[in-house]
Amino acid sequence: MRTQVGIIGAGPAGLLLSHLLHLRGISSVVLEKRSRDYVERRVRAGVLEQGTVDTLIAAGVGERLLREGLPHHGIELRYDGERHRIAFEKLVPGRAITVYGQQEVVKDLIAARLEAGGDIRFEVEDVAAHSLADRPYLTFGGERLDCDVIAGCDGFHGVSRPAVPPGVLQTYERDYPFAWLGILAEATPSSDELIYARTERGFALHSMRSPTISRFYLQVPPDTDAADWPDERVWAELRTRLETVPGFTLTTGEIIEKSVTPMRGFVTEPMQYGRLYLAGDAAHIVPPTGAKGLNLAVADVRVLTEALTAFFHDGSTGALDGYSAACLKRVWRAQHFSWWMTTLLHTFDSDDAYGRRLQLSHLDYVTSSEAAATTLAENYVGLPW
């Protein structure tokens, strides 16, 4: 078999790349080790930046997003018994975020690719990348796929990044001393916008996925087992951390999913080697506080699409050679913003009274200074492409 671009991974990065390349007349094959049902049900991020929404609409896969997505024009910071709204419509006019689950984006992209005759192969075994320096090809399940370029979109634990020879890539990492316990509940959202709550007991986040499904997160120790958190305990802790302002009552319901997410930052440089180009979680991880993971993957894919278009249509290699440098500027900006939001809102050392006072002082500054609030807002909705 032969194609122009071999794509490892049928997550948002791989699927969007395949679709954008199709719109440019460039062929691709997507290889995914999981089943279609698994990737369409896998619950991940749900906050889409303005640029991500615009990209999906322009690619012709935004019909359901426009119909079912929940546009938000602000977020709430809650601390010290008070609520403070960061108003996007005032601080960054014309830009917002949209709440629309990552699994819904994946469903839309799979449907679009299959309708257009795209080649997506689910449940493939033993995927491996070879001859990356000059004549790349992929093997899987006893078959071989020759290609001009390989795109590694297979996540942090995938096979694409380890295929690079040792010593080529440099990695930067930071592990945080806590995790997030996340739940999905059949409960009407208690707020029209996301609530980021900083308390002495730890951070909490109130989010949503639809008018009837709510998403919550609790800061917990990194070794937490979700089984140690029965539903009653989860709701009690959420009430303690969120019902801290007058008039607010948390709506509860049946919990339909429960999981623990570690908090870490990770970047690999460069994001390319030979004819292999890494995108999304295969190249970088951010703590979810800043809601940047999926959006960074889309940004990578936009850059890679333009570079591949120049390569296949004009024979130009300049944009491909500069792919990593172009992406890393945005990656490191998102890393900093995610680190900043994380350190601003989470409880670290319980004995660090000095650090807690610094947090409160900074929160006071962000919620009282238009300049500081604008910095938060423009990073949160996504910097312009």
Q: Are 160 and 132 in contact (CB under 8 A)?
A: no
Q: Are 184 and 256 in contact (CB under 8 A)?
A: yes
- Structural domains in the chain, CATH included, are 2-71+97-173+265-341 (3.50.50.60), 176-263+348-381 (3.30.9.10)
Percent of the chain whose predicted confidence (pLDDT) is above 70: 100
CA neighbor of 266 nearest in space, from 293, 299, 291, 290: 293
Return all residues near 235 (Cβ < 8 A) that are at least 6 apart: 250, 252
At 251 the pLDDT is 97
**Number of CB atoms found within 10 A of residue 200's CB:** 10
At 385 the pLDDT is 83
Q: Using one digit for the tens of pLDDT, what is the confidence trace for 228-252?
A: 999 999 999 999 999 999 999 999 9
Question: Going by DSSP bridges, is the β-strand pair 195-199/202-208 parallel, antiparallel, or unpaired?
Answer: antiparallel
Q: Using one digit for the tens of pLDDT, what is the confidence trace for 116-157?
A: 999 999 999 999 999 999 899 999 999 999 999 999 999 999
Taking each helix axis as running N to C, give the angle between helix 293-314 and helix 50-58, from 0 to 180 degrees, rounded to the nearest 10.
40
Q: Using one digit for the tens of pLDDT, what is the confidence trace for 66-77?
A: 999 999 999 999
127 phi/psi in degrees, rounded to 5: -70, 135
Average confidence (pLDDT) over 194-212: 96
Q: What is the DSSP letter of 288?
A: G
Mean of all residue pLDDT scores within the chain: 96
Return all residues near 135 (Cβ < 8 A) that are at least 6 apart: 146
Q: Sheet with 47-48: list strands edge to edge.
A: 47-48, 97-99, 70-72
CA neighbor of 385 nearest in space, from 318, 306, 320, 293: 306
At 175 the pLDDT is 96
Q: Which amino acid is at 30?
A: V
Task: Name the band, by pLDDT with cuts 50, 70 and 90, for residue 283.
Answer: very high
Check: pTM over 0.85? Answer yes or no: yes
CB environment 129-167: b (16+ within 10 A), e (fewer): beebeeebbbebeeeebebbbbbbbbbeebbbbebbeee
At 250 the pLDDT is 98
Q: Sheet with 254-269: list strands edge to edge.
A: 82-87, 74-79, 195-199, 202-208, 214-220, 170-186, 254-269, 284-285
CB environment 351-382: b (16+ within 10 A), e (fewer): eeeeebeebeeebeebbeeeebbeebbbbbbb
Active-site positions read 72, 196, 288, 292, 380
At 165 the pLDDT is 96
Residue 351 has pLDDT above 90, yes or no: no
Q: Using one digit for the tens of pLDDT, what is the confidence trace for 176-191?
A: 999 999 999 999 999 9
